[in-house]
Amino acid sequence: MKNERLILVTNDDGYNAKGLRAAIEVARPFGRVIAIAPEVTQSGMSQAITMYKPLFLKKQHEEPGVEIYSFSGTPVDCVKMAFDYLLTDRKVDLVLSGINHGSNAAVNVLYSGTMGAAIEGSFYGCPSIGLSLTDHDLDADFEAAVKYCTEVVRGVLESEPELPLCLNVNVPVARPEEIKGIRICRQTKGYWREEFYRREDPHHRAYFWLTGEFVNQEPTAEDTDEWALANGYVAVVPVQVDLTDYARMQYLKRIIKE
């Protein structure tokens, strides 16, 4: 169809992930789908790009209305490959990244490869949405995520959003009928407190496993994404990339001579 929408789908869990199939399910009712996703898991890659090794693109599957490619780079590499090589002759109407296996609420937005790809899509002047389910299970149930993510996508596509637009959507683990609705939220203030577990290999060389715990600095605030998820709501946070601390500028002008 001449005026059919084109939707780019990517993720950070890899092209074989169940969550990518769920994102394609979300996208298909709205137009033609081109999925370009990493060959292997690229979680936690944020805005990383590949500069010093070759990248390989391979078509993995094609059916009416859907093409799926694997790419040997990061999630951001996948978006760049789409806009700057594969789809240069087509207008992309929407970028969907996900559906991630695990939450990307709060400060996770800064670490997330899922959100890195969504943010990159917004750099191209395209509405972009990162989708996540708060379940790390590789065989997670995405039924509720598909239902509510579809509602968010429909709202964006049926409007004329002011660009750039990037949304961070997180869905709690629940059956569709158990979710209370959608809340527009702000990012929760908090941080990760990491722990490194030291082990030794058979050659007595030390190696480490990274783990950690998220510290919520405002657990009672009811306008945050973490509160929404903990109370059975889908959390939608609008994301911006301007990291300037405007409130600090006057202070700096007092202590630093320009």
How much is the pLDDT for 225?
Answer: 98
Q: What is the helix (H) or strand (E) element at residue 156, kind and residue range? A: helix 143-157
Strand order in the sheet with 66-71: 57-63, 66-71, 32-38, 6-10, 94-101, 128-133, 166-171, 233-238, 181-184
Tell how far CA 21 is from the center of its chain: 15
Q: What is the largest CA-CA distance in the chain?
A: 63
Output the CA angle 251-255-258, nearest 5 degrees: 100
Return the structure tokens found at 14.
């890899």
One-letter amino acid of 6: L
CA–CA gap between residue 104 and residue 180 (Å, rounded): 20
Return the structure tokens found at 36.
């370009």
Per-residue pLDDT in tens (0 to 9) along the chain, 258 residues:
457 999 999 999 999 999 999 999 999 999 999 999 999 999 999 999 999 999 999 999 999 999 999 999 999 999 999 999 999 999 999 999 999 999 999 999 999 999 999 999 999 999 999 999 999 999 999 999 999 999 999 999 999 899 999 999 999 999 999 999 999 999 999 999 988 999 999 999 999 999 989 999 999 999 999 999 999 999 999 999 999 999 999 999 999 988
To the question of pTM greater than 0.85 for the whole model, the response is yes
Cis status of the peptide bond prior to 99, with omega within 30 of 0 = yes
| Domains parsed from the chain with CATH numbers | 6-188+220-255 (3.40.1210.10)
Query: How close are the terminal C-alpha atoms of the chain, in Å?
Result: 57
Query: What residues have CB less than 8 Å from 224, skipping those under 6 apart?
Result: 106, 185, 186, 187, 188, 189, 218
How much is the pLDDT for 123?
Answer: 97
